[in-house]
Amino acid sequence: ETKPRVPIIWMHGLECTCCTESFIRSAHPLAKDVVLSMISLDYNDTIMAAAGHQAEAILQETRQMYKGRYILAVEGNPPLNEDGMYCIDGGRPFVERLTEMASDAMAVVAWGTCASWGCVQAAKPNPTHAVPIDKVIRNKPIVKVPGCPPIAEVMTGVITYVTMFGRLPDLDRQGRPKMFYSQRIHDKCYRRPHFDAGQFVEEWDDDGARKGFCLYKMGCKGPTTYNACSTTRWNGGVSFPIQSGHGCIGCSEDAFWDKGSFYDRL
Ligand code: SF4
Ligand code: SF4
Ligand code: F3S
């Protein structure tokens, strides 16, 4: 309660905004408690009241005032083709502003699969040459929080950890927090007993589907996907894709768009 709140600058490149949408739905802790009590969210161009020159001024002010002490959170990624012209932010190529803001940050958080791996805009043939942010930010620690979008409580969990302990959480070899990404969806899936028993859904409306059998033969990517969906679940722990009757499409994995995740059945 006596520590100053950590300043966070949250930038958006090529993206769909659903990472921010996910974040504001966090139930544990509530997003409002994170924003109002734990961090100082000084810039987020999607949800801030300021716009235009006023927002620009806040961005530069925060950068100068908290040099080396703010966290740069990035949603989306920079396109490099045509000198970055496919994403203009504040009148300049996003890639320029991204590397500029990263140079004075304490650490960087890559929100979602866009910032972590590239996601849909980097899928073949990737006309804008969109790249994950670690291809252009080389000299700062980066925490990757993949998912399209990431689970709200995973996002606020990462922020809670950083603000509580004053350091980044332990990361795996790919830069993801181990506490949320060390297990596959398949490892804790409630349909796993059906997988082990060889009971599979063969068609979307067959008897196995009605009985809640395993979705592996319908293309479920749970066995190769690292994320917390089968434990943390979504919407405050209510459900997750597999519980809704659809297999995991591997949305937190690198290049999931190019790996046949959508309806590529066995
Ligand atoms: Fe949207 Fe997915 Fe990118 Fe997040 S990772 S901004 S949800 S496309
Ligand atoms: Fe594994 Fe998917 Fe079957 Fe769950 S539904 S047990 S994650 S293959
Ligand atoms: Fe994504 Fe699979 Fe979870 S599709 S939301 S990682 S169950």
Residues with CB under 6 A from ligand 1: 15-16, 18-19, 75-76, 112-114, 119-120, 148-149
Asked if residue 38 lies in contact with residue 23, where contact means CB atoms within 8 angstroms, the answer is no
pTM score, whole prediction: 0.96
Backbone conformation region of residue 126, classed left if phi is above 0, alpha if psi is from -120 to 50, else beta: left
- In sequence order, the β-bridge partners of residue 143 are 109
One digit per residue, the tens of pLDDT, for the chain of length 266 reads: 677 899 999 999 999 999 999 999 999 999 999 999 999 999 999 999 999 999 999 999 999 999 999 999 999 999 999 999 999 999 999 999 999 999 999 999 999 999 999 999 999 999 999 999 999 999 999 999 999 999 999 999 999 999 999 899 999 999 999 999 999 999 999 999 999 999 999 999 999 999 999 999 999 999 999 999 999 999 999 999 999 999 999 999 999 999 877 665 55
Q: Considering only CA atoms, which of 145, 211, 203, 147 is closest in space to residue 178?
A: 145
Q: How many CB atoms lie within 10 A of CB 42?
A: 19
Q: Are 38 and 29 in contact (CB under 8 A)?
A: yes
How far apart, in whole angstroms, are the C-alpha atoms of residue 195 and residue 99?
A: 46
With CA atoms as reference, report the closest residue to 136 among 175, 99, 106: 99
Residue type, 138: R
Q: Which atom of ligand 3 is nearest to the CA of 242?
A: 7
The atom of ligand 3 lying closest to the CA of 234 is 5
